[in-house]
């Protein structure tokens, strides 16, 4: 607009406000797309919606983006052990053994959610991602490779289509079945806030049968409080919290606390997604399998070593990345596969994390599997708990990283608000000129 005379105070104020709004709008238009839309560099958690056969370069990119392998020194660790001969149970949402990176690595498993079977072995994809981080094939330069690429996966499905479970007895049955079917390491990337006597008994059963049990500490976004999840806080379990991508900083979404034992990469990870694709994920769900895989490497390297000494070796050789000694944020520190395989660690013949007396092998029966257990037998085997225990609601501690999508919506909302505000100011300014 043109004005023949000098601006009055009111006009000057309006013009100043318009200039400020224009500046903010320009900044919003410039900045928002860069942070919200993955144009040149992929934003974490946006699903990588393609199959490995689409473009070789893109499959190579998936392999190159597995920063956790460099962080943990996988190439050097594999000179000593690849996990051959060790079975790792993935008690989760199921595992799709037909995924190109898992073919030949997945054993026949158990479905405790849909015993009659489902069209998809892993309707959620969570368990397949966990399995890929543990034992993804290392036979080419495409797709994901696990930290223990020659280990075997024993899948036990306990999570439903919503990635949840309502009954701790189901998880307890899964743990016991896995122990009775050859698992030497068990990964539990799940949990909840409430304790479970039944699950505690099942974990004791695993300890009595010389099995290493690893669990995640949980995610803040899916927890009613900041307390380390159960079963991670069960004595004897290796409780794993998570780190940010390419750093020794705790991942912002990770739960940690006094029960934390170790840390491992938890964000900016690329994982296998059923049926043959990939996606970006984050969560302590995906830190735990990296520790479980390290346990598999140790058990393959030292097949006669007890589970307690495997756990002790994990703790003694961890990289201390927090205050000196064990602390409530990082536990003993970052898991170190190379040191765990090569360091001279004296045998102690017990699990240093387990301060409970084991009920003894004679106190356990066989895993119930798919058979119905009557209440008297369930009580005797430690499978039953308080009735309210069967109604607690728990879930997995990992998900696709939706940060980019959220930033896009937030940026769009800010842009619309600013645009609307500018339009109103222009209208008011014009009315003042009449």
Catalytic residue flag (residue 92): yes
Spatial CA neighbour of 213 closest among 184, 237, 242, 191:
237
What pairs with residue 395 in β-bridges?
164, 191
What are the residues whose beta carbons fall under 8 Å from the beta carbon of 111, sequence distance 6 or more?
A: 94, 117, 118, 157
Structure tokens at 285: 């769900």
Spatial CA neighbour of 285 closest among 54, 139, 91, 38:
91
Angle CA 306–309–313, to nearest 5: 140
Per-residue pLDDT tens digits for 125-142: 999 999 999 999 998 888
3-class state of residue 157 by DSSP:
strand
Alpha carbons 168 and 139: distance in angstroms, whole number: 38
Structure tokens at 219: 């995610």
Catalytic residue flag (residue 285): yes
Residue 307's Cα: distance from chain center in Å? 23
Alpha carbons 83 and 147: distance in angstroms, whole number: 8
As a dihedral over the C-alpha atoms of residue 27, residue 33, residue 34, residue 37, rounded to 10 degrees, the angle is 170
Please count the CA atoms within 13 angstroms of the CA of 379 that sit on its side-chain side: 4
How far does the chain reach from its first CA to its final CA, in angstroms?
12
Output the pLDDT for position 142. 85
What pairs with residue 134 in β-bridges?
none
Burial pattern 1-22, b for ≥16 Cβ within 10 A else e, equals: eeeeeeeeeebeebeeeeeebe
Neighbours of 37 (CB within 10 A): 15
Residue among 45, 81, 99, 126 flagged as catalytic: 126
CATH fold for the domain made of 56-400: Rossmann fold (3.40.50)
Mark out the alpha helices in 332-402 (DSSP H runs).
337-342, 375-381
Rg (CA), the chain: 26
Each domain of the chain, given as residue ranges in start order, spans 9-41+412-433, 56-400
Output the pLDDT for position 398. 73
Residue among 92, 96, 204, 336 flagged as catalytic: 92
Low-confidence ranges of the chain (pLDDT < 70): 1-60, 356-393, 395, 399, 401-434
Output the pLDDT for position 397. 72
Residue among 45, 196, 223, 285 flagged as catalytic: 285
Phi, psi (rounded to 5 degrees) for 91: -90, 105
């Amino acid at each position: 607009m043109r004005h023949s005379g000098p601006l009055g105070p009111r006009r000057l104020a309006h013009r100043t406000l318009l200039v400020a709004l224009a500046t903010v709008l320009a900044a919003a238009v410039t900045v928002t797309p860069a942070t919200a839309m993955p144009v040149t560099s992929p934003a974490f958690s946006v699903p990588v919606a393609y199959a490995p056969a689409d473009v070789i370069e893109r499959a190579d990119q998936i392999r190159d983006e597995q920063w956790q392998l460099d962080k943990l020194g996988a190439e050097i660790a594999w000179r000593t052990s690849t996990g051959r001969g060790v079975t790792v149970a993935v008690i989760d949402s199921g595992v799709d053994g037909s995924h190109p990176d898992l073919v030949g690595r997945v054993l026949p498993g158990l479905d405790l959610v849909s015993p009659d079977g489902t069209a998809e072995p892993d309707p959620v994809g969570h368990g397949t991602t966990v399995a890929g981080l543990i034992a993804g094939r290392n036979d080419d330069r495409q797709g994901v490779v696990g930290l223990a690429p020659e280990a075997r996966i024993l899948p036990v499905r306990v999570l439903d289509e919503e990635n949840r479970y309502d009954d701790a007895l189901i998880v307890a049955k899964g743990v016991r079945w896995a122990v009775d079917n050859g698992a030497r390491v068990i990964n539990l990337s799940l949990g909840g806030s409430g304790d479970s006597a039944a699950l505690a008994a099942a974990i004791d059963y695993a300890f009595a049968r010389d099995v290493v049990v690893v669990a995640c500490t949980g995610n803040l976004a899916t927890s009613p409080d900041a307390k380390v999840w159960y079963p991670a806080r069960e004595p004897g379990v290796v409780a794993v919290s998570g780190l940010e991508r390419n750093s020794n900083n705790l991942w912002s979404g990770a739960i940690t606390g006094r029960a934390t034992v170790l840390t491992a990469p938890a964000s900016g990870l690329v994982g296998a997604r059923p049926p043959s694709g990939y996606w970006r994920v984050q969560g302590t769900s995906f830190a735990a399998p990296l520790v479980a895989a390290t346990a598999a490497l140790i058990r393959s390297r030292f097949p006669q070593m007890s589970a307690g000494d495997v756990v002790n070796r994990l703790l003694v050789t961890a990289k201390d990345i927090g205050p000196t000694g064990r602390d409530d944020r990082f536990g003993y520190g970052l898991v170190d596969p190379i040191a765990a395989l090569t360091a001279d660690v004296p045998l102690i013949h017990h699990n240093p994390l387990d301060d409970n007396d084991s009920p003894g092998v004679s106190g356990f029966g066989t895993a119930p599997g798919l058979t119905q257990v009557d209440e008297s037998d369930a009580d005797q085997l430690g499978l039953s708990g308080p009735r309210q225990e069967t109604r607690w609601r728990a879930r997995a501690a990992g998900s696709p990283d939706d940060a980019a999508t959220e930033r896009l919506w937030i940026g769009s909302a800010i842009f619309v608000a600013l645009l609307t505000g500018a339009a109103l100011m222009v209208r008011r300014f014009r009315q003042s000129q009449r």
